[in-house]
Structure 1
Amino acid sequence: MSQDALFQLGMDSVVLNTAQKEENTTAQPAPAVCDDKDHFIEKNGVLCAGSHFIVDLFEAERLDDLPYIQQTLVDCVNAAGATLLHIHLHPFEPNGGVSGVAVLAESHISIHSWPERNYAALDIFMCGDAEPERCIDVLQRAFSPGRIDVQELLRGRSA
């Protein structure tokens, strides 16, 4: 990628703390999708594109531990039966917060953490046969939140 393209993406001035490196992991390409299946699901009698969970973790731990967060996202993907395409995590200084995304064949899991407030915001959206609700237990075990708020949205609902 050229320097101009990186500049347009706002990536030319990223400076990482030498103690904390940005993680960039790529998995194997996803298998081809059959043309006759659009991966919409039926949930609670509703035809939709998939389930989108909005997750807030309060009084949570290890929200500045980049390798741990990466492994937790992988554990979420595996628990949900999803297909990992790529993980990109970025640490922020000086507070150690982390922003990132696990890109899935079925959509994504994203995280943004504020370790100085023991808070993290996550999005978990999946279509097809994946079971995104299984990520909630993984997050609870991994980050030991004192409180967790979960909202589920059914995306692309048929009218």
Structure 2
Amino acid sequence: MELFGFGPHLMIDGYHASTDALRDETLIRTVLSELSAQLGLGQLSEPVVQQHEGSGPEDSGVSGVVVIAGSHISLHTFPEHAFLRVDVFSGKEFDVQKALNYLIEHFEVGRYTTHFINRGKEFPRDAAALQRMLSGEREYVGARIA
């Protein structure tokens, strides 16, 4: 168990994806449900999936979200651009590569970029360990300034 920090946040931008898959509300609902289960993230709600209409077809697509314990998985598609955005944010560790592989397979993603951050650096899972870490970090920064 991590001593500090809230949890990981994986952001994926998928390019050259299947436009049919990006329009398929049933598939998106299934992906949100299955992905949370496969990653072992506690699903608190059924996925909500909705068509969204932009100023034109190029700005329209499907958005979906499922609430998991302490956070969410969200997905937004733009079929006219063969593009999707996905966020997997959790209060516990998960297999990032498994999540990425699952999404690439189900949406037939040709190219992707990812960003990964740990959120809530000062979220206290172990208050004493957090205090030691922050004190050391502040001492180091103070030493560099002096």
TM-score, length-normalised on structure 2? 0.71
CA deviation profile, 1:37-76 (whole Å, cap 9, x unmatched) = xxxx52xxx7310000111010011101000011111121
**Number of residue pairs matched?**
115
Poorly superposed stretches of 4+, deviation over 4 Å: none
Structure 1 or 2: more helix by fraction: 2
Query: Is residue 25–residue 49 contact of structure 2 (8 Å, CA) maintained in 1?
Result: yes
Inter-partner Cα distance in structure 2 for 1:92 and 1:148: 23
Q: Equivalent of 2:83, from 108, 119, 125?
A: 119
Structure 1 or 2: more strand by fraction: 1
Please state how far the C-alpha of 1:142 moved relative to its aligned partner. Answer: 0.4
Q: Which has the larger radius of gyration?
A: 2
1:100 is paired with a residue of what secondary structure? strand
Higher relative contact order (CA 8 A, sep 6+): 2
AA paired with 1:131?
F
Alignment gaps of 5+ in structure 2: 123-133, 135-146
TM-score, length-normalised on structure 1? 0.66
CA deviation profile, 1:6-47 (whole Å, cap 9, x unmatched) = xxxxxxxxxxxxxxxxxxxxxxxxxxxxxxxxxxx52xxx73
2:17 is paired with a residue of what secondary structure? coil
Identical aligned pairs, as a percentage? 30
Query: Is residue 28–residue 64 contact of structure 2 (8 Å, CA) maintained in 1?
Result: no
1:148 aligns with 2:112: yes
Inter-partner Cα distance in structure 2 for 1:56 and 1:72: 16
Q: Equivalent of 1:54, from 11, 15, 25?
A: 11
CA deviation profile, 1:93-118 (whole Å, cap 9, x unmatched) = 57461012111114100111100000
Alignment gaps of 5+ in structure 1: 1-40
1:81-120 matched pairs, under 5 angstroms: 81-86=40-45, 87-93=47-53, 95=57, 97-120=61-84
Inter-partner Cα distance in structure 2 for 1:155 and 1:114: 27
Q: CA RMSD in A?
A: 1.8
